[in-house]
Amino acid sequence: MCTPAFGALLWLGHLPPVSVIVVGLITTFAGYTAVYALNDVVDFRADRKKAAMGGGTADGTYLDGVLVRHPMACGLLSFREGLLWACGWAVVALVGAFLLNPLCVVIFLGGCLLETLYCLLWRISPYRTIVSGGVKSTGAIAAVFAVDPHPDAGYLLILFLLLFSWEIGGQNIPADWTDIEEDRRLKAKTIPVHFGPQVSRIIAWTALWAAAGLSAVITFFSATGFNWYFTLGALAAGIYLLLLPGRKLYRSSRREDAMALFNKASYYPPALLSAVLVNILMG
């Protein structure tokens, strides 16, 4: 939920009206909840096979496994209940998106279609990772349009590429690396399974550098212009949360280091949002 707030606030350089903040937070929560639930609905059969192999269990060392990862596949929710959950939150997200900017409705529906495509490509193509990068960027792009109907195209492009790179290098590849053994048994087509650790680590390492670098230049394209406070904070976050754990994975190619990278990279959007808020408060 931090990426939409980060994208919108960095563009504006100040807080929007309270009504926009309230509707935006509700819409963001509903939208992401609906999309993640949609993932479980579309992937229901594959997730059941993973659950039968012991996947989806709690693991305190892996942030994505602290809670049950696929409640329907694990039998905690029926398929019907999961579908109703996804549809219910989608309706809330659609109403909120319409109130903010009707274009946000189009972006949300596009994100849902991309998420569906991502799930369907699980056993077809490792390039589904690209689709994942697009999905993770839609919320932030929609948030910018929610606070300004006519944002700068250059800013939107840099924002998209920044979040796209973070998702590929810090989330998608490390997560698939963590699940590599069960994905191999299930004949999934992921970057680590298809290309192996050598190529995977190069792709992840390159994407992490791209994310860290883009965070240093994105303020040039914001409505308020370049700001040292945000840039220094973003660079520090990129080094600590992306580059240092990414370098460790690049050198070792170990599953444990992929898990550690995923965990630390998950805090990158909150760190960027914190840098924006400090920038606003000091301004």
Domains of the chain: 2-282 (1.10.357.140)
- The alpha carbon dihedral of 123, 179, 239, 282 has a sign of positive
Lowest mean pLDDT among 40-44, 96-100, 170-174: 40-44
Residue-wise burial string across 249-265, b where 16 or more C-beta atoms lie within 10 A, e elsewhere: bbeeeebebbbbbbbbb
Kindly state the average pLDDT of the residues 274-281: 90
Kindly state the average pLDDT of the residues 58-87: 76
Q: Over 90: is that where the pLDDT of 246 sits?
A: yes
Q: Over 70: is that where the pLDDT of 240 sits?
A: yes
Kindly state the average pLDDT of the residues 254-269: 96
Residue 276: the pLDDT is 93
User: CA nearest 144: which of 241, 218, 37, 230?
Assistant: 218
Kindly state the average pLDDT of the residues 12-36: 95
Single pTM value for the model? 0.91
Structure tokens belonging to residue 47: 């997730």
Q: How far is CA 217 from CA 10, 113, 210, 213, 234, in A?
A: 12, 31, 11, 7, 10
Residues 75-116 have pLDDT tens digits of: 788 899 999 999 999 999 999 999 999 999 999 999 999 999
The answer to whether 227 and 219 have CB atoms below 8 angstroms apart is yes
Residue 189: the pLDDT is 93
DSSP-H helix ranges across 121-190: 128-147, 153-166, 173-178, 180-185
Q: Over 80: is that where the pLDDT of 172 sits?
A: yes
Distance between first and last Cα of the chain: 24
Residue 283: the pLDDT is 67
CA distance 185 to 146: 43
Helices 268-282 and 228-238, interaxial angle, to 10°?
160
Q: Over 90: is that where the pLDDT of 51 sits?
A: no
User: CA nearest 160: which of 107, 112, 117, 121?
Assistant: 107
Residue 277: the pLDDT is 92
263 vs 52, higher pLDDT: 263
CA distance 133 to 10: 20
Residue 100: the pLDDT is 97
66 vs 189, higher pLDDT: 189
Residue 31: the pLDDT is 96
Residue 76: the pLDDT is 83
CA distance 104 to 238: 29
CA distance 2 to 18: 17
Place of tokens 């990068």: 133
